[in-house]
Structure 1
Amino acid sequence: MKDTQVDPPETPPEHAVIARFQLGGDGFGEPDQRSLVFDAERSAESAVRAAGVGEVDGNEFGGGEVVIYAYGPDADALYRVMEPCLRALPFRPAHVVLRYGEPGDDIVRVRVEL
C-alpha cells in the first residue's frame, strides 16, 4: 500500500523517437543540409509542444549523418506529430527508432523506414 504523503508519485517511463538521416560526405553534411535539418527540427519542436506530447531534445551531426532526438510519455503519439516534418527531409537512407521505455535491455524498439 502506498502512502501518498510519504511515497512520491511514480513517473511513467520516458519513450523516445530517434530519427537518423544520411547526409553527404563523412563529416557534418553541407551547410544547406544542416539548414534543412534545423528548419525541420524547429517545425517538429513547435508541433510537439503544441500537441503536448513531449519535447524535441536536439540533434547530433557527425560521420555523414544527423540524428534528431525527441522524448515523451508515448512514442507513438510523439512520432505521429513529428512524422510530417521528418518525412519532409530529403535525405535517404533514413529511419526512425521508436523506443518504448527507458534505455535498457528489456525495452521494445520499433524501426520505421522513412
Structure 2
Amino acid sequence: MQNALFDLPETPSEHAVIARFRLGGDDFGDPDQRSLVFAAERSMGAAVKAADVGEVDGNEFGGGEVVIFAYGPDAEALYRVMERDLRALPFRPAHAVLRYGEPADDVPTERIEL
C-alpha cells in the first residue's frame, strides 16, 4: 500500500523474537554458560541470515539471566529459524516472546515456553 500524502511505499513493521534464559553462577552466568550462549547466537545468526528472515541483534547478560534479541518482518518465520538453537540451550526456566510489530505500538505478543 502507498502513503497517499507522499506517494511512498510503506515500510513493513519490525517484529521481534526476544528469548530469556535463567543462568546460574554470578549475575552474568558462568563462563561456560556464556560460551554456550555465544555459540548458539552465532549459529542462529547464520541461519537467520541464510533464510533471509531478519537478524540476530545481540544479547544482554545481567541479573542471573541472558536475553537474546532478533528482529525481522515476520516474528513467526524468525522464530521457526531460531527455535532449534533456542531449545538446545540447557538453561531453564526459559521462554521466547514473539512481538508482532514495533515496540512503541500496542501490538500482540505470544509467549512460548522453551
| TM-score, normalization by structure 2 | 0.93
Alignment of 1:1-114 (within 5 A): 6-114=6-114
Q: Decide whether the 8 Å contact of 2:3 with 2:10 is kept in 1.
A: no
Give me the whole-angstrom Cα distance separating, in 2, the residues matched to 1:52 and 1:60: 24
Cα root mean square deviation, aligned: 1.8
Give me the whole-angstrom Cα distance separating, in 1, the residues matched to 2:105 and 2:43: 32
In structure 2, stretches of 5+ residues that fail to align are none
Q: How many pairs does the alignment contain?
A: 113
Query: Which 4+ stretches in 1 moved above 6 angstroms?
Result: none
Shift of 1:106: 1.7
Give me the whole-angstrom Cα distance separating, in 1, the residues matched to 2:95 and 2:3: 44
Could you tell me which amino acid in structure 2 is paired with residue 75 of structure 1? A
Identity across matched positions, percent: 77
Secondary structure (helix, strand or coil) at the match of 1:59 reads strand
Secondary structure (helix, strand or coil) at the match of 1:42 reads helix
Shift of 1:3: 7.8
User: Which segment is superposed worse, 23-32 or 38-47?
Assistant: 23-32
| TM-score, normalization by structure 1 | 0.93
In structure 1, stretches of 5+ residues that fail to align are none
Give me the whole-angstrom Cα distance separating, in 2, the residues matched to 1:51 and 1:94: 24
